[in-house]
A and B are shown apart, each in its own frame.
Chain A
Amino acid sequence: MTQLAKKRPEFRNINALTDLPSYRLPAAGIVSILHRISGLIIFLLLPLLVWMFDTSVSSEISFAKFSAAFNVGLGFVPAVLVKVMVLGLIWAYLHHLIAGVRHVYMDVCHAVSKEFGKSSAVVTLVLSLGLTAALGAKLFGLY
Chain B
Amino acid sequence: MSVNYGSKRVVVGAHYGLRDWLAQRVTGVLMVLFTLAVLGQVLLTSGEISYDKWAGIFSTQFMKALTFSVFIALAIHVWVGVRDIWMDYVKAVGLRLVLQVFTLVWLVSCLGWAIQVLWRL
Name A's B-contacting residues (CB within 8 A). 1-4, 36, 39-40, 42-43, 46-47, 49-50, 53-54, 56-60, 63, 97, 100-101, 103-104, 107
Contact = CB atoms under 8 A, between A and B. Distances in A.
B18 interface: no
B92 interface: no
Interface in B68-105: 78, 81-82, 85, 103
How many chain B residues sit at the interface, stated as a range, is 20 to 34
Given A1-B4, A49-B110, A57-B117, 12 more contacts: A2-B4, A4-B10, A39-B85, A43-B107, A53-B114, A53-B117, A56-B55, A57-B121, A97-B35, A100-B32, A101-B32, A104-B29
Contact of B54 (A1, A3, A57, A101): A57
Contacts, number: 71
Interface in B8-32: 10, 12, 25, 28-29, 31-32
Contacts of A4: 10
Q: Which secondary structure dominates chain B's binding surface?
A: helix
Interface SS of A by simple majority: helix
